[in-house]
């Protein structure tokens, strides 16, 4: 008997170590709790098998029941999460409280008769005898309730919810079945050996299969949603076996058949894609770089006379390639432009200039759109991007009129263009913090501070392939250092004085001025006089004092501009 329990503990520990090695931040926290609790419970069974007196057996049982009382809770929570079932937090708290209360009853073993009325070693058989109390009856009811909830959720998801993976949902049923066998198998098949440790190990194997599959769907979630949710770019994710993994709303509008697919269905069910998919993927696989391809005019929508180009990339899970990402880009204007060139060669130079300007404008609009999409997540800064960008423009106008700071036209153009990107790092801040209807506490503010460094990283990634090195550097500096202070007490790097790039010092004035005169969820707007007093007091401590005369000259334009705004 001892060897069986020793082996099941060793296996459960090895599987938990394997889970730690493959873990990533997208894994369900409830599954992580399961992998922690199972080895603990199994070592309890091992201790129980070698106990030589009732006191040792009591301690072992209390360890075993850590799994018995809490594993059913975490299994049920994982079923709800993986089946995309939203559960009220008070219900989660109630269920956790019930499991905790159950374990408190277990802890009374040896002191009270709530769970075991009696627990002793039968010397004639060498077996420990348990006389159950009312607490054990409550435990059985609780376990059955969890199992009924879990199975009901799984059946409902299989037949009613298309946005949950059928494969994962079916796999979730197996731990429920194993739990039933583990808890009630001894009653049905005798008690020569407890099968629960073995069912725990089997459940771990199933959960490893589940998290491996879920990694595919989490990869889809890592697409920069702000770039593809709105606008004219759609994406479709498929695995190497052409199973559908997900798409965004734009793609579903371009290819309506996607709306009828459920996760894990074959993509070939969609007629608009069936005739083209193999050609696209062959084109991609025959491409030498195999990082990105462009196939023009491959997909047409005759209803609105739009044409779409196809871009394909590998779908990565860490360093592994797990499938393909197909991007659908509205290419109508480009196609019309090509046809226009064919028909009017004599107007080529004029048309090229026009389209070049259009591309630059689109690039600028993309930057502004991305910044505003990030801003839309923050319920306290509506219009902040637009207003601070105008504030930077006003300050730059005044600086250019002076002689002290010799700014190049390129610098001025770049900082005005980069201003909308200064808060783009807020995309990395949790919605719970970003959308909090009030002031941040210290812990929340520390988490909020990451947006500056994250903003610089995101800007770097977005612009890393641009040829405009000056703009890229200024945009990164604006995002990274606009919260630094002249006296060195700012963040994220506590730069001091002229260590702070000039573009960030200019951005800081426009940013703080807007924050002061704008209404936020945690404060009313300040008067221009009060805001001006605070800005002036900050010259030489928070702000660069060399910018003071330019701010003073810009103040009437600031007040005129903000007076015309609905803030």
Q: Read out DSSP for 431-493?
A: HHHHT-SS---HHHHHHHTHHHHHHHHHHHHHHTT-S-HHHHHHHHHHHHHTT--TTS--SSS
Shared-domain flag, residues 177 and 271: no
- Please report the pLDDT score of residue 303 as a whole number: 54
Is there a contact between 272 and 174 (Cβ–Cβ < 8 Å)? no
- Please report the pLDDT score of residue 358 as a whole number: 65
Q: How many CB atoms lie within 10 A of CB 464?
A: 8
Is there a contact between 472 and 510 (Cβ–Cβ < 8 Å)? no
Of 414, 232, 222, 420, which is closest to residue 325 (Cα–Cα)? 222
Q: How many CB atoms lie within 10 A of CB 87?
A: 13
State if pTM tops 0.85.
no
Q: Please provide the distance, in angstroms rounded to a whole number, between the alpha carbons at the two ends of the chain.
A: 74
Classify residue 350: in a domain, yes or no: no
Measured distance CA(520)–CA(526) in Å, rounded = 10
Shared-domain flag, residues 296 and 163: no
Using only the alpha carbons of the chain, give its radius of gyration: 31
The residue from 315, 343, 371 where one domain ends is: 343
- Please report the pLDDT score of residue 297 as a whole number: 47
Is there a contact between 387 and 562 (Cβ–Cβ < 8 Å)? yes
* The token pair that represents 248 in the structure block: 């965004």
Of 304, 293, 215, which is closest to residue 19 (Cα–Cα)? 215
Measured distance CA(172)–CA(282) in Å, rounded = 36
Backbone angles phi, psi at 378, to 5 degrees: -100, 115
Shared-domain flag, residues 313 and 372: no
Measured distance CA(38)–CA(493) in Å, rounded = 43
Shared-domain flag, residues 427 and 542: yes
Shared-domain flag, residues 205 and 253: no
The residue from 217, 235, 262 where one domain ends is: 217
- Please report the pLDDT score of residue 554 as a whole number: 92
The residue from 317, 343, 369 where one domain ends is: 343
Domain count for the chain, please give it: 3
Domain assignment of residue 266, given as a range: 225-343
- Please report the pLDDT score of residue 498 as a whole number: 92
In DSSP terms, 120 is beta-bridged to 129
Shared-domain flag, residues 67 and 185: yes
Of 349, 162, 167, which is closest to residue 269 (Cα–Cα)? 162
Shared-domain flag, residues 318 and 381: no
* Ramachandran region, residue 313 (left: φ > 0; alpha: ψ -120 to 50; beta: rest): beta
Is there a contact between 128 and 120 (Cβ–Cβ < 8 Å)? yes
- Please report the pLDDT score of residue 218 as a whole number: 55
Measured distance CA(415)–CA(229) in Å, rounded = 27
Shared-domain flag, residues 262 and 289: yes
Shared-domain flag, residues 150 and 175: yes
- Please report the pLDDT score of residue 487 as a whole number: 94
Shared-domain flag, residues 415 and 522: yes
Shared-domain flag, residues 519 and 385: yes
> 10-residue block means of pLDDT along the chain (567 residues)?
87 93 81 92 88 84 89 90 86 93 89 82 66 86 90 87 78 85 63 80 90 66 50 80 86 82 86 77 71 51 65 77 83 71 63 63 68 64 80 92 84 90 85 77 86 90 82 92 94 93 94 88 84 93 93 92 81
């Amino acid at each position: 008997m001892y060897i069986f329990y020793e082996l099941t503990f060793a296996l459960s520990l090895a599987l938990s170590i394997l889970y730690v090695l493959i873990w990533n931040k997208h894994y369900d926290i409830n599954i992580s709790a399961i992998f922690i609790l199972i080895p603990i419970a199994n070592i309890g069974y091992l201790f129980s098998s070698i106990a030589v007196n009732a006191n040792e057996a009591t301690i072992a049982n209390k360890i075993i029941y850590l799994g018995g009382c809490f594993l059913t809770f975490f299994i049920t929570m994982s079923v709800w999460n993986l089946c995309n079932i939203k559960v009220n937090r008070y219900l989660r708290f109630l269920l956790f409280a019930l499991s905790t209360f159950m374990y408190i009853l277990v802890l009374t073993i040896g002191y009270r008769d709530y769970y075991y009325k009696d627990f002793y070693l039968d010397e004639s058989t060498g077996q420990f005898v348990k006389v159950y109390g009312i607490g054990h009856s409550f435990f059985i009811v609780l376990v059955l309730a969890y199992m009924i909830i879990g199975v009901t959720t799984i059946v409902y998801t299989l037949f009613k919810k298309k946005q949950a993976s059928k494969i994962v949902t079916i796999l979730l049923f197996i731990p429920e079945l194993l739990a039933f066998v583990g808890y009630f198998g001894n009653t049905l098949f005798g008690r020569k050996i407890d099968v629960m440790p073995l069912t725990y190990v089997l459940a771990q194997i199933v959960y490893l299969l589940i998290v491996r599959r879920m990694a595919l769907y989490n990869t889809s979630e890592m697409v920069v949603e702000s770039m593809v949710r709105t606008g004219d770019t759609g994406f479709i994710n498929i695995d190497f076996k052409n199973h559908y993994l997900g798409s965004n709303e734009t793609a579903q509008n371009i290819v309506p058949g996607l709306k009828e697919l459920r996760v894990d269905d074959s993509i070939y069910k969609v007629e608009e894609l069936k005739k083209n998919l193999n050609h696209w993927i062959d084109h991609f696989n025959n491409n030498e770089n195999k990082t990105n391809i462009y196939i023009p005019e491959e997909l047409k929508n005759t209803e609105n006379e739009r044409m779409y180009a196809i871009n394909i990339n590998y779908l990565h899970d860490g360093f592994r390639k797990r499938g393909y990402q197909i991007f659908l880009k509205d290419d109508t204007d480009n196609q019309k432009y090509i046809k226009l060139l064919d028909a009017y060669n004599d107007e080529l130079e004029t048309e090229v200039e026009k389209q070049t300007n259009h591309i630059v404008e689109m690039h600028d609009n993309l930057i502004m759109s991305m910044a505003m999409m990030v801003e839309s997540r923050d319920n306290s800064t509506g219009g902040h991007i637009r207003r601070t960008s105008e504030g930077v423009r006003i300050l730059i106008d005044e600086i250019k009129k002076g002689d002290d700071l010799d700014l190049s036209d390129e610098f001025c153009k770049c900082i005005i263009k980069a201003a909308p990107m200064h808060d783009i790092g807020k995309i990395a801040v949790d919605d719970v913090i970003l959308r909090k209807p009030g002031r941040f506490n210290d812990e929340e503010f520390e988490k909020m501070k990451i947006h500056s460094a994250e903003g610089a990283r995101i800007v770097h990634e977005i612009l890393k392939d641009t040829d405009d090195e000056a703009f890229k550097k200024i945009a990164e500096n604006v995002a990274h250092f606009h919260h630094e202070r002249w006296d060195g007490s700012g963040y994220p790097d506590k730069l001091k004085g002229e260590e702070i790039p000039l573009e960030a010092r200019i951005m800081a004035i426009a940013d703080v001025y807007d924050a002061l005169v704008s209404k936020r969820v945690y404060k009313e707007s300040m008067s221009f006089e009060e805001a001006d007093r605070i800005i002036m007091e900050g010259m030489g401590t928070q702000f660069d004092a060399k910018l003071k005369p330019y701010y003073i000259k810009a103040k009437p334009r600031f007040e005129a501009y903000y007076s015309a705004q609905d803030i």
